Amino acid sequence: MKLEGRIALVTGGSRGIGRSIAEALAREGADVAVNYRSGKEQADEVVQAIEGMGRKAVAIQGDVAEFDDATRMVEEAVNGLGGLHVLVNNAGIARDTLNFNMDPGDWLDVMRVNFGGTFNCTKAAAGQMMKERDGVIVNISSVMGEKAWVGASNYAASKAAVNSLTRASALEFARFGIRVNAVLPGFAPTDMVAGLVEKDGGKSISKQLPLKVLGTVEEVAECAVFLAGPGSKYMTGSLLTVDGGAFAQLALGKPL
């Protein structure tokens, strides 16, 4: 197993992509701290699934948008599992609407969680990793951070900020033996993109993709595990797209 002896913290790990990443890390041998903000029951289910694989796991409540919470989460992961080698910044929210209709609070909330949460947890984990001169940070971003989609400007801007933070952090932490990369999913069926695919099951989007299918949370998780493991040891500051070819195109047609 590629991650035997490694300890990971996955933010937003109780459902969707985060849950898939937490379980995929465990299958590769990692012990996992599963962060959640409000879904304790779901987080406990993930912990039980990981323990069923013979790995250690703990559920840790915390709001990534609050730096004090992020610091406590890291401390609880270290104390509960014995260290921290991998941080997956996955927690995120969406408040999709057109700019003209957007409440300023919706813009600020998305930035505080998606970008602020990534910054907070990165800063909180950095001390432990710098001390050990060993660590990997994987940020779950989005292809929207490099392109655009009508009605999602706040989300796209938050992910563009995550992409820039990924590159800058990679430069700053390289001398401490810490690698920082990001996974940029396209359209995968999660709660956050439900509104885009609920009308026709995503067919109107998938037919525009070169691979003609939506992605899965498992496929995103596999890429996150790759970046967390030894197979990517010469990668840092990289943005890895997982989007069925969407990013390679000039456009995806009109928004739905």
Q: Which domains does the chain have, with CATH numbers?
A: 7-185+216-246 (3.40.50.720)
155 catalytic, yes or no? yes
Give helix then strand counts, H and E, for the chain.
Answer: 9, 7
Q: Contact 105/93 with Cβ under 8 angstroms?
A: no
Q: What is the pTM of this model?
A: 0.93
- Dist. CA 147–CA 157, nearest whole Å: 10
Question: Which listed residue (119, 155, 173, 226) is catalytic?
Answer: 155
Residues 50-70: pLDDT tens digits?
A: 999 999 999 999 999 999 999
pLDDT digits (tens, 9 = 90+) for 188-201: 766 555 555 656 66
Average pLDDT of the segment spanning 223-234: 98
Structure tokens that stand for 239 in this block: 């943005």
SS3 per residue for 33-64: EEEECCCHHHHHHHHHHHHCCCCCEEEEECCC
Cβ atoms 184, 155 nearer than 8 A: no
